[in-house]
Amino acid sequence: MLKRFLTVSLCLLALTLPGLAQTKKSTMKKAAGPVPDKAALQKVWDGWSTLDPANVAKYYATGPHVYFDIAPLKYGSFDEYSNGVKAVVAGYKSAKFTLNDDVAIHPHGDLVWATATVAEQMTTKAGKVEMGNFRWTVIFENEDGKWLIVHEHVSAPLQ
């Protein structure tokens, strides 16, 4: 009986060791600063309110990342996004974007995803004021201690 117990124990130990050896350490980095909060999200929209993408570039990661906007459909990097937005906002002289009270922020290790609706007021160069609300989903990634937007989706509800 003792011999059988030792044999079973040895087999269980032999089966368990490879699993323990393959345990992976987490690759998540500690953020140098606090995760983005509502005030940080509003700063992104304050930058967009200037109608100049150069004023928000510091919030966006470089390289290939997908950004969905109201128009056109999609951009493959912030450089594309910046150039596309310039054409879209060329007909406007001012804008104001304000986060509504439904901001939801979800930290998850090196990522933070957030959702909100955004109130917009834009004035065309002809003086027409356009107002409305749109949806915003954004994903930040901790890159060397700095939270940068790596994905964004902006959409307007169907009228």
CATH code (residue 54): 3.10.450.50
Residue 81 lies in a domain: yes
Q: Which residues contact 154 (CB under 8 A, 6 or more apart)?
A: 68, 69, 70, 134, 135, 136
Query: How confident is the model over 107-112, as a mean pLDDT?
Result: 95
Is pLDDT at 131 greater than 60 in this prediction? yes
Number of folded domains that form the chain: 1
Identify the pLDDT of residue 70. 77
Strand 74-77 vs strand 64-68: parallel, antiparallel, or unpaired? antiparallel
């001012």: which residue's tokens?
Answer: 94
Which structural domain range is residue 131 located in?
Answer: 33-155
In a domain, residue 28? The reply is no
Is residue 59 predicted with pLDDT exceeding 80?
yes
Q: Is the pLDDT of residue 113 over 70?
A: yes
Tell me, what's the pLDDT at 123?
98
Range 98-126 average pLDDT: 97
* Backbone φ, ψ for residue 49 (5° rounding): -65, -20
Does residue 9 lie in a domain region? no
Query: What per-residue confidence (pLDDT) applies to 23?
Result: 43
How much is the pTM?
0.78
Rounded to the nearest integer, the mean pLDDT of the chain is: 84
Residue 52, pLDDT > 50, answer yes
